[in-house]
Amino acid sequence: MKVKICGLSTEATMEAALDAGADMIGLMFFPKSPRHVTLSQACKLADMARGRAEIVAVTVNMDLDGLSRIRELVGPDIVQFHGSEPPEACAAVKVMHGVKVMKAVAVSERADLEQAQFYSIVADWILFDAKPPKGSELPGGNGVSYDWSLLKDLDLAKPFMLSGGLNPENVVEAIRQSGTRALDVSSGVEREPGVKDETLIRAFLAAAKGANVSGS
């Protein structure tokens, strides 16, 4: 079971995630998000994670100049596109920067899964997240979920990751319903928006990894 802890912004919570076995860590580059980090902060956090977990730069409709600066200064392993970026934008960054690409797809019903097929041609990962609540300025990290069973037996050319409304209490059930082998969590391990909780991070990772070992 691969687990990504997203929206990390402090050294203490980064260390908690790495120590507890996170496979990926997400750094948020979106000023409207309470989890946003500056390039300077991101460089320090990425240095902590390098060689211990894959570093994911989470972006939302960012221009090529911004993406280039992140690639040059932070050196992520994966660039995550969490906005309305078309497949060709994902492909361009992959070719230009030689980096893996993850594309988020917003889900509320089965028909929403169809757009993942277009992105799976160029993306290395597809992340299925819940559609944001009406009026939200954040495309993700809203703490809302969807019918996880929509992903059961999904036939997709690339690996996918489940996100949206996950927390230590429901993650085992989410794995059972979806059949996923990869998870992404952000708000579900926070004590308030943007403030990660080390205890919740460890609890989530223990539950997720334990579910995999037990075959749940």
90 is catalytic: no
Say which of 6, 90, 147, 153 is annotated catalytic.
Answer: 6
Say which of 129, 147, 155, 184 is annotated catalytic.
Answer: 129
With CA atoms as reference, report the closest residue to 161 among 47, 91, 56, 31: 56
Strand partners, 136: none
Task: Classify the C-alpha dihedral 98-180-189-133 as positive or negative.
Answer: positive
Q: Give counts: helices (H), strands (E), the chain.
A: 7, 10
- The two beta strands, 195-196 and 190-192, are antiparallel
List, in sequence order, the alpha helices (H) in 113-190: 115-119, 171-178
Q: Record the tokens describing residue 162, joined without a space.
A: 């489940």
CA dist., res. 120 & res. 145, Å (int): 22
CA distance to 2, 89, 135, 177, 195, per residue, from 190 (Å): 20, 32, 22, 24, 5
6 is catalytic: yes
Could you give the residue numbers annotated as active site? 6, 129
